A and B are shown apart, each in its own frame.
Chain A
Amino acid sequence: MYRDAALKALIPYVREDDIVVAVYQSCFDWLALNPRDLNYVAVGAMGQASSHGLGLALANPDRRVIVLDGDGSLLMNLGTLVTIANAGAQNLYHFLSANRVYEVNGSQPLPGADRVDFAAMAWAAGYAGVQRFTELEQFSVALPQVLSSAGPQFVSMELTAGAPYPRDYAYIHSAQARTSFREALNRR
């Protein structure tokens, strides 16, 4: 499946008060497809998106936190799987764009690109639920159940890049992005 198609399938199931944490190309795609103030985009680098997601989930137990992670990112922070599972964040939903390349860094292949099983890693770490999808239709059908189950849930989306959405690094690192998120989070 293509990533933009997978993200489009996710949009109808994202509630207004959900927090979406997104990294790199998944973030750029998501911002183009579903711009909203509760998109959390300032994750730094080195695979930290899911750790930000855990902090948000623990501090905001009345909201769902949806992480749109990258596979290269996750490999830089594998311990996060164990930390998240151990923290037992029931409101955390960890989606992985597994395209097997460092897409924003020249599409160089991941180490072990043709062998690594991310879903197996999440299962072994102790996530409450783990699924892996290669087909858009099956992914779309499963989404309501995934997002209504207690977390932490892990979904490996085995995909290829879709339409080339612009990489607006200036925005994701901007004070404006952080301020918009903070104001939206504390609005109620």
Chain B
Amino acid sequence: MVASPQPTEDAPQVAHPSGAAIIAAIKAAGVGEIVALPDIVTSDGLLWPISRDPDFRLTRICKEDEGVSICGAMSYNGTRAVLMMQQTGLMDSLNAIRAIGVDYELPVVMMVGLQGKEPHILPDQSASYGVRIIRPVLDAMRLSHSLIEEPGDEDHVPQAIEEAYAASKPHIFLIGRAPEAS
């Protein structure tokens, strides 16, 4: 967890993405393996539904860098996986992503909940330092990433996964608003 800015009463109400649509998009990309640590942003809308979905095998891990290795190793025979975590775990796993995703050129696809981000503003504008630095850090490492914030953002998920596996490189989906379960 990171220090979270307190939401103000006058913060604009915004629409949230659909967890069901994200899950459908993951399936459409041929992913059957989910490797995960829980994250409060994605817990209700993604991880709980995934844990009950027979189309997925869920491997619960103790630390995020394990997941980078598990997903990278799975890819050698074409098995597709998505690694779920929070941005704190992403920061803790940067060396594993550097080694396994970048140096070894393996397609590690991650979905990262941005805990502490204000729903109505972009990550780079967050009052939370731990959120604000995420995209600049990923850019500095030249890691491919995209944002899932609004309804409709789910649509790019299958293509981004396809491209990650085709190019054998990591991709990171940053989830900036808690997905609705439906």
Q: Is A8 part of the contact surface with B, judged by Cβ < 8 Å? A: no
A-B contacts, CB under 8 A, total? 89
List the one stretch of A43-51, A104-112, A129-137 in contact with chain B: A43-51
Contact among B74, B95, B105 with A58 in the assembled complex (CB-CB below 8 Å): B74
Bound complex: CA A8 to CA B73 (Å): 26
Contact among B63, B79, B100 with A59 in the assembled complex (CB-CB below 8 Å): B79
Known: A82-B62, A175-B105, A185-B77. A54 touches B100 (CB 8 A): no
Contact assessment for B100 and A48 in the assembled complex, using a CB-CB cutoff below 8 Å: yes
Q: Is B103 part of the contact surface with A, judged by Cβ < 8 Å? A: yes
Contacts of A46 in B (CB 8 A): 65, 95-96
Contact assessment for A58 and B69 in the assembled complex, using a CB-CB cutoff below 8 Å: no
Bound complex: CA A43 to CA B95 (Å): 12
**Chain B residue with Cβ nearest A44:** B99
**Contact residues of B between 45 and 102, Cβ < 8 Å to A:** 57, 59-63, 65-74, 76-79, 81, 95-96, 99-100
7 contacts between A and B (CB under 8 A): A40-B73, A44-B99, A48-B68, A54-B70, A56-B76, A83-B61, A173-B103
Contacts of B99 in A (CB 8 A): 44-45
Secondary structure call for the B interface: helix
Contact assessment for B63 and A55 in the assembled complex, using a CB-CB cutoff below 8 Å: no
**Contact residues of A between 68 and 99, Cβ < 8 Å to B:** 77, 79-80, 82-83, 86-87
Contact assessment for B76 and A182 in the assembled complex, using a CB-CB cutoff below 8 Å: yes
Q: Is B118 part of the contact surface with A, judged by Cβ < 8 Å? A: no
Contacts of A51 in B (CB 8 A): 65-67, 69-70, 73
On chain B, the number of residues with a Cβ less than 8 Å from chain A's Cβ atoms is 29
Contacts of A53 in B (CB 8 A): 73
Contact assessment for B77 and A186 in the assembled complex, using a CB-CB cutoff below 8 Å: yes
Known: A48-B100, A52-B69. A79 touches B63 (CB 8 A): yes
Q: Is B39 part of the contact surface with A, judged by Cβ < 8 Å? A: no
**Additional A-B contacts beyond A55-B73, A173-B103 (8; CB < 8 A):** A44-B104, A48-B66, A51-B65, A51-B70, A52-B69, A60-B77, A79-B66, A178-B105
Contacts of A60 in B (CB 8 A): 77
Task: Give residues in B with beta carbon < 8 Å to A.
Answer: 33, 57, 59-63, 65-74, 76-79, 81, 95-96, 99-100, 103-105
Bound complex: CA A58 to CA B70 (Å): 9
A4 nearest CB across to chain B (Å)? 26
Contact assessment for A55 and B71 in the assembled complex, using a CB-CB cutoff below 8 Å: yes
Contacts of B81 in A (CB 8 A): 55
**Chain B residue with Cβ nearest A43:** B69
Q: Is A181 part of the contact surface with B, judged by Cβ < 8 Å? A: yes
A25 nearest CB across to chain B (Å)? 18
**Chain A residue with Cβ nearest B79:** A59
B57 nearest CB across to chain A (Å)? 7
Contact assessment for B69 and A83 in the assembled complex, using a CB-CB cutoff below 8 Å: no
Bound complex: CA A54 to CA B61 (Å): 11
**Chain B residue with Cβ nearest A182:** B76
Contact assessment for A48 and B69 in the assembled complex, using a CB-CB cutoff below 8 Å: yes
Contact assessment for A59 and B76 in the assembled complex, using a CB-CB cutoff below 8 Å: yes
Contact assessment for A87 and B66 in the assembled complex, using a CB-CB cutoff below 8 Å: no
